[in-house]
Amino acid sequence: MTKICGVDEAGRGALAGELVVCGCAFNGDVSKLNLTDSKKLTPKKREQIYTSLIQQCDFITIYFNNKIIDEIGLSNCLRRALRVIKFHFREHQIIYDGNCNYGIDGIETIIKADAKIPQVSAASIIAKVSRDLQMCRFDSFYPYFGYAKHKGYGVKAHIEALQKYGPNELTRQSFKPKALEASLFGDEI
């Protein structure tokens, strides 16, 4: 029987905070958890499932802070994460949510795998909850940005906070939403 490691990430399109990539394989029966894409679950349900998953799975989470993302780019971050996951789960079939394996041989890609493959759903949930908890902690350091609510994504409240207060240490300088003025980031959009 082929062992499967599912891979997904959270924070890919955020304007602040880290990219979190998770690889996850099951050690036991998780069929009762009704796994699906983390975005289809309420935060409370995600956290409940997360608590069960971290006790019943072999998983690895890899974090890339905003400065690394700005320096090497999202694609290189994902490429590095996939290499680490491939090494950690070298005896598994690795399935990544999406359509690009970033040049890493032995990584199978499936679009919407986070809704189709339970191991990828689990990776999606672990990555999302891990990142959300981190952004909630960051909220206490940057209370005017509302990270506990929007988790650093480019929603109106976050754009308005960036316009009012400027970027902070968590802001991805390489992500330049059109809604922001060029002067905020120091060069043209």
**What digits encode the pLDDT tens for the residues 67-100?**
999 999 999 999 999 999 999 999 999 999 999 9
**What digits encode the pLDDT tens for the residues 22-64?**
999 999 888 889 899 898 999 999 999 999 999 999 999 999 9
Q: How far apart are the two ends of the chain, measured CA to CA in Å?
A: 51
Mean pLDDT of the chain: 92
| CB of 3 closer than 8 Å to CB of 91 | yes
Cα angle value 160/149/21 (rounded, 5°): 105
Q: Tell me what pLDDT residue 34 has.
A: 87
Instruction: List Cα–Cα distances, 128 to 33, 72, 87, 121, 134, in angstroms.
Output: 16, 22, 22, 10, 10
Q: What is the pTM of this model?
A: 0.91
Q: Tell me what pLDDT residue 182 has.
A: 47
For the chain, the farthest-separated pair of C-alpha atoms sits apart, in whole angstroms, at 56
The answer to whether residue 186 scores a pLDDT higher than 70 is no
The answer to whether residue 187 scores a pLDDT higher than 60 is no
**Category of 92 on φ-ψ map: left (φ > 0), alpha (ψ -120 to 50) or beta:** beta
**pLDDT-derived band of residue 188, with 50, 70 and 90 as boundaries?**
very low
